[in-house]
Amino acid sequence: MGMVLGVLGSGSGSNMQAILDAIEAGTLDARIALVLSDKPDAFILERAKRHGIETGVIDCRGFQTKFPEEAQAETAARLRDAGVELVCLAGFLRLVKSPLLDVFPQRILNIHPSLLPAFPGLESWKQALDAGASEAGCTVHFVDEGMDTGPIILQEAVPILPGDSAATLHARIQVLEHRLYPAAISQVSRGWKA
């Protein structure tokens, strides 16, 4: 019996889609039980509904970037009620801390579009371009109290090519993300259930 996943996202949800595709293709033994977003109109919710997955909106009490404690506690309760065993942050733009982290210790994953520890934070592919780096990449890691820190599960590089724009580089990284995230979930899940 596969791992029960909960996904948190703020945007388009292409990584959530890649996880679903891997499940449907039989390469990832898991089930997404719940998808939550801090943005009521985020496309990730629409995608989830199309697949008949339960969705919900996280009420962040009007804060633009903060993830208030009450909202984290509500999120933890909803994830637990849905039977979620592993939480996947997929383009979720708020920092997860206590109390949500305490409820799912070593059970929250994040995907980040850089070769961490290089370029944490927002729009890391732009940071890599601006720094004149020769390669970029993608990292899946466990979430801890820091921003884009925590033990790395999988990481892979892509080249930065002459003439790359932020958009072309981000697109190349996203292709990699869509392969790496399901693989990392599978690896974590095998570690637990073997």
- Closest to ligand GRF by CB, 66 or 80: 66
Task: State the CB neighbour count (10 A cutoff) for residue 136.
Answer: 27
Assess whether 51 carries a catalytic annotation.
Answer: no
* Smallest gap from residue 113 Cβ to ligand GRF (A): 4
List 51, 112, 170, 178, catalytic entry: 112
Asked whether the CA dihedral 165, 146, 176, 159 is positive or negative, the reply is positive
- 108-112 and 30-37 as β-strands: parallel, antiparallel, unpaired? unpaired
- Max Cα distance, the chain (Å): 49
- 86-89 and 152-159 as β-strands: parallel, antiparallel, unpaired? unpaired
In whole angstroms, give the CA distance from residue 7 to residue 184.
14
Q: Which residue has the tokens 């090519």?
A: 161
* Smallest gap from residue 175 Cβ to ligand GRF (A): 11
- Closest to ligand GRF by CB, 72 or 112: 112
- Report which secondary-structure segment, H or E, holds 108: strand 108-112
Determine the residue with CB nearest ligand GRF.
91
* Smallest gap from residue 139 Cβ to ligand GRF (A): 9
- Closest to ligand GRF by CB, 104 or 119: 119
- Closest to ligand GRF by CB, 17 or 186: 17
* Smallest gap from residue 105 Cβ to ligand GRF (A): 21
**Interacting residues toward ligand GRF by CB under 6 A:** 9, 11-15, 44, 90-91, 111-113, 174, 177
Q: Which residue has the tokens 């729009």?
A: 123
**Active site residue ranges:** 112
